[in-house]
Amino acid sequence: PPGGGAATTAASPPAELQAKADRIAKSLAEMYPDPPIPLDHGNTFQFLCAVVLSAQSTDKKVNTVTPKLFAAAPTAHAMAELSIDTVKEYIKEIGLANSKAKYLVNLSKQLLELHDGEVPSDFKALEALPGVGHKTASVIMGQAFGIDAFPVDTHIHRLAARWGLSNGTTVERTEADLKALFPPESWRDLHLQIIFYGREHGQASQSYPWSGPICTWAGLEDPPATTPAKKRRAKEEAGAGKATGKKPPKARKKL
């Protein structure tokens, strides 16, 4: 499919669900009309490195360590010449610094060996790089190369379930469901708009009744769990209900 990775579903979404998705997209466009890329970078290689560094870390934190790192290694050639310990020293303030230092050095070497030091505009080639999974590849394809892609991070996964746009079973399912609801030309901005909304109005710590300009009307009373911990808890509660003969939790309201 054009967006790569998870395929869009073949069947058209129900009209009521599509209308809800359209209203959400309209609200997001009004709130965040020209969403900027939140990771600071000077070229596509630096953007790739910043996205790799952002895993299990905040963009704000990444932006505090990359200026000195990119001053020392602005290109794949320069990064490949640094030792892993040197890179680790530059990024030690962010999580998983040991692994991420190895990723940056090794992906730089692989870019030199296979792609003349340039970041490839191809899903398969990107996902073959150390430290680059489907989400990171989707971010690069969509934001750097303008190729249709809908990366799903924790904010998007959570809000898609909270808004009833996906059932939350997997990130792959959420990606496919969102691609079926929104036109490809909107994916680049929507990816960023939902992230910004999640940070500002749709945090994981919130509970029903929801607050926020979209969650107040779009949020389900009992949305599907989207994290391993919440899924385990939901399963345990369902099991306890069966054991005690109590009725299971109320089903989430329909759209």
Q: What is the pLDDT of residues 142-192, one digit of tens each?
A: 999 999 999 999 999 999 999 999 997 899 999 999 999 999 999 999 999
Question: For all residues of the chain together, what is the average pLDDT?
Answer: 89
pLDDT greater than 60 at residue 229: no
Residue 127 has pLDDT above 90, yes or no: yes
For the cut 60, the answer to whether the pLDDT of residue 2 exceeds it is no
- pLDDT attached to residue 12: 85
Has 189 been annotated as catalytic?
A: no
Is 135 an annotated catalytic residue? yes
Is 110 buried (19+), middle (13-18) or exposed (0-12) by CB count in 10 A?
A: middle
| pLDDT range class, residue 3, cuts 50, 70, 90 | very low
The CA-atom distances, in angstroms, between 123 and each of 109, 132, 176 are 18, 10, 16
| pLDDT over 80 at 195, yes or no | yes
Catalytic residue among 59, 122, 153, 231: 153
Please give the angle made by the CA atoms of 175, 7 and 201, to the nearest 5 degrees: 10
Q: Is the pLDDT of residue 98 over 50?
A: yes
| Per-residue pLDDT at 9 | 44
* pTM of structure: 0.84
CA atoms within 13 A on the CB side of 90: 25
Q: Per-residue pLDDT for 22 more than 80? A: yes
Predicted confidence at residue 235, as pLDDT, reads 64
Higher pLDDT, residue 117 or 246? 117
Closest CA to 9 of 185, 157, 166, 124: 166
pLDDT at 236: 63
Distance separating alpha carbons of residues 32 and 55, to the nearest angstrom: 23
Q: Where does the chain have alpha helices with state H?
A: 15-31, 44-53, 59-72, 76-81, 84-91, 97-115, 123-127, 134-139, 154-162, 171-181, 187-200, 215-218, 228-244
What are the CA-CA distances from residue 173 to residues 21, 48, 202 (Å)?
16, 25, 20
> Which of the following is catalytic: 20, 135, 179, 189?
135
Tokens at 236, concatenated: 């345990």
